[in-house]
Amino acid sequence: MKTLYQKSWLAIVVLITIFNLSGCLKDDFDTPPTNIPEIKDEQILTFDQMFEKLVTGKITNIQEDKYLEALVVADDQSGNIFKVLILKDMRGEKGISMSIDENELHALYPVGQVVYVHVKDLAIGYYEGLPTLGVNSGSTVGRIPASLIRSILIKSGRTAAVEPLKVKYSELNSTHHNRLIQLEGMQFETATSSTTYADANPADPQSINHNLIDCDNNKIILRNSGFASFAGQTVPQGNGSIVAVYSYFRNAAQLLIRDVTDVNFTGERCDGSGGSSGERISVKDLRAKYAGTDVKIGSGYVQGIVISDVVNKNLNNQNLVLQDGDYGILMRFTSAINVPLNTEIKINLKGGLLAPYNGLLQVQDLSNQGVEVIASDKPVTPKVLTIAQIDLNQHESTLVQIQNATLIGGNKFEETTIKIKDGSGEVQFFTNKAATFATQSIPSGTIAVTAIVSNFNGKQLSIRNLSDITGGTPCDLNDANADCDGDGVANGQDCAPENPLIYPGAPCNDGDPNTFGDQYDEQCICKGTPGGAGGINENFDGQTADQDISIAGWDNVNVKGNRKWLAKYFSNEKNYYAQATAFGNTGPAEMEAWLISPVIDTDKASEFSLRTSFQSWVHDGLSIWVTTNYTGDPNTTVWQEVSGLRIATQGDTNQSWIPSGTVDLKQYGKNLRIGFKHVGSQAKNTTSYRIDDIKVE
């Protein structure tokens, strides 16, 4: 009997190789399976056969020991689709929404993956009007438990091209639900320079419904999640094609995009405005059009990556700097433009004026409606040059890096006398007085500077933000004679500095290992709280996602390998937590990381609890210890392992938070520090462990 898939060790090896070459997936997931089942033709259930069981107002158990053969056409990678995969029948044209109680599904089942869905224990029904596959929860189609995913959703070892169904607006009907479709001639009904896909406010993200319209004024909703990675991006203002999942919610059809690359609104709007129509002009060729006389541009567009930083304000808010390959140019708009650093965009040049301003070549009078976002997070690698090698004819408005340099001629960034100097010469260093770092003190010592080459009647360099400078000697907050906020008053006498990073309440280190929560007081003195008098209540909410945990009074130490405990943020739960893992191509061969608490006086607080979780269990990598004599080095410290705590382990559900229960720490001594130890290895011990809500009361 011919089978859909023949076992092949070669295919398996290729699959594993492809996975490894693809790099570390978001949140570091486990490796692909090494065994793929043999599924025969007679075991396949088509979507058409499954849909025969679909009844309005009823949840139907499928109860057939068969499999769907399906293609993943949309996943949750951008965060705009939540706990759902959109599948298309490999043997027909229908699509289905599969509801799964798991996050980061794209890491296991990405777009283009062919899968087999074992439907025996599944149910089909309508969820708010949309056909959905899941489990029978009585009154609705429920999410498939995470613990059952691997037994229900099985990788075939194959991939296939994902092609949207091209359809006219007038042809859309319920048969297109859960299909990846492509519509032409669409545009956002409302699209200004400040219109974003959704509200990405980190404190309270909000989803937004936008109306898309065509030139006959037909409308359809585009639904965008506030948790999507592109939520804060500006919508394109032109007209064109969109690829999206055709969905339905309650009484309205709606579209769901997978990412902004699904939106290609490059043409002029129905009223003739906006868009990035015409032929593409490279920035190199655009610059070459200027030959000493101003040039009015009639048509065309440029495409490149934004290398200026609107957030840190070291540039006029009507300007951005665009780099295309080895060439760049300043673009000036008719009103403030808000496009983030490292965003790839198209800009409609129609009506723009190519002309210099104080020596700097730029395109002026650009319409804000002529900007289309192509992709985000595409940083440009700076060209490493000496100061003498910088040539305005070639490098103006591009990103460069000057190594082995110093800043001279002043104290604060905003001072006009400051220059960058290296062994080949020196050049003007310019900072806008409106920049967020303008009043801060410049670093001393040898530094590397990444900067935009500019021109103001002569060569000058400008950084985008403080991360553009590395090395040197940063200002020491504990040095009473230093002036860390650049207001002319030394730290030791400064009780009203302008920089909130210093005063009041800024973190510091008073040098006493028996105190925690060290902060500057109103006298600018660094003080800590003795011996854990207030216990511990740490939920990591003050941390920065994807950065090493850094909390006053806590130690984060890597004994083996190059990784420490990392702060992570799960947007759908609005929750920060700490994670340690050796998974991924960049993971260490051997890993041992410790997160160590401040001192706890168990006479004052001793009831210890926390929550733990893991992603893709492979090994038990987390253990919890206490010590009364922490030396500053976990290797030379005498530890006692804490017993009686429930830690997430094999058999628990991926990413489910497991309460530990409570343990009284008095049995281990009086002045204790708690050590959260994670061990792992890239080759086999790859479980990602997470901790949160650590309390000692």
Q: How many domains does the chain have?
A: 6
561 — alpha (psi -120 to 50), left (phi > 0) or beta? left
**Per-position b or e across 462-471, b if 16+ CB within 10 A of its CB:** bbbbeebbee
Is residue 552 located within the same domain as residue 681? yes
Give me the phi and psi of 316, to 5 degrees please.
Answer: -55, 140
Residue 481 lies in a domain: no
Residue 274 lies in a domain: no
Residues 568-577: contacts with CB within 8 Å, 24+ apart?
568/27, 568/690, 569/545, 570/103, 571/79, 571/205, 571/227, 572/79, 572/82, 572/103, 572/227, 574/205, 575/692, 576/539, 576/540, 576/541, 576/543, 576/545, 576/692, 577/540, 577/613, 577/690, 577/691, 577/692
For the CA atoms of 396, 368, 234, 449, the dihedral, rounded to the nearest 10 degrees, stands at: 20
Say if CB 239 and CB 379 are below 8 A apart: no
Say if CB 288 and CB 329 are below 8 A apart: no
Is residue 203 located within the same domain as residue 72? no
Structural domain boundaries, residue 635? 536-696
Is residue 155 located within the same domain as residue 39? yes
Residue 51 lies in a domain: yes
Is residue 682 located within the same domain as residue 663? yes
Q: Which of 115, 132, 159 is the last residue of a domain?
A: 159
Q: Quick one: pLDDT at residue 496?
A: 47
Residue 1 lies in a domain: no
Is residue 400 located within the same domain as residue 327? no
Is residue 431 located within the same domain as residue 514? no
CB atoms within 10 A of CB 34: 10
Measured CA to CA, the distance from residue 515 to residue 109 in angstroms comes to 48
Q: Which of 159, 174, 196 is the last residue of a domain?
A: 159
Residue 276 lies in a domain: no
Q: What is the pTM of this model?
A: 0.51
Is residue 296 located within the same domain as residue 440? no
Is residue 328 located within the same domain as residue 219? no
From the list 445, 453, 507, the residue with the least C-alpha distance to 470 is 445
Residue 307: strand, helix, or coil = coil
Burial class (CB in 10 A: 0-12, 13-18, 19+), 677: buried
Contacts of 376 (CB under 8 A, 6+ apart): 229, 230, 233, 260, 340, 342, 343, 344
Q: Quick one: pLDDT at residue 25?
A: 37
Say if CB 72 and CB 87 are below 8 A apart: yes
- Domain containing 444 — which CATH number? 2.40.50.140
Is residue 679 located within the same domain as residue 612? yes
The DSSP output letter for 288 is H
Q: Which of 374, 407, 441 is the last residue of a domain?
A: 374
In single-letter form, the type of residue at position 417 comes to T
Q: What average pLDDT does range 467-482 have in this prediction?
A: 73
SS3 content of the chain, % helix, strand, coil (to 5): 10, 40, 50
- Domain containing 655 — which CATH number? 2.60.120.200
Assign 274 a pLDDT band (cuts: 50, 70, 90).
low
Q: Is the pLDDT of residue 500 over 60?
A: no
Residue 483 lies in a domain: no
Give me the phi and psi of 13, to 5 degrees please.
Answer: -60, -45
Tokens 């309460």 belong to residue: 659
Is residue 540 located within the same domain as residue 676? yes
Say if CB 219 and CB 212 are below 8 A apart: yes
Residue 461 lies in a domain: yes
From the list 107, 101, 63, the residue with the least C-alpha distance to 84 is 101
Residue 255 lies in a domain: yes
pLDDT per residue as tens digits for the range 541-556: 888 888 999 988 899 9
Is residue 343 located within the same domain as residue 392? no
pLDDT per residue as tens digits for the range 439-459: 998 988 888 999 999 999 999
To the nearest whole number, what is the mean pLDDT of the chain?
A: 86
Tokens 């997070």 belong to residue: 377
Of the two residues 363 and 264, the one the predictor is more confident about is 363
pLDDT per residue as tens digits for the range 165-210: 999 999 999 999 999 999 999 999 988 767 889 988 877 889 999 9
Q: What average pLDDT does range 506-514 have in this prediction?
A: 65
Is residue 500 located within the same domain as residue 554? no
Say if CB 464 and CB 454 are below 8 A apart: no
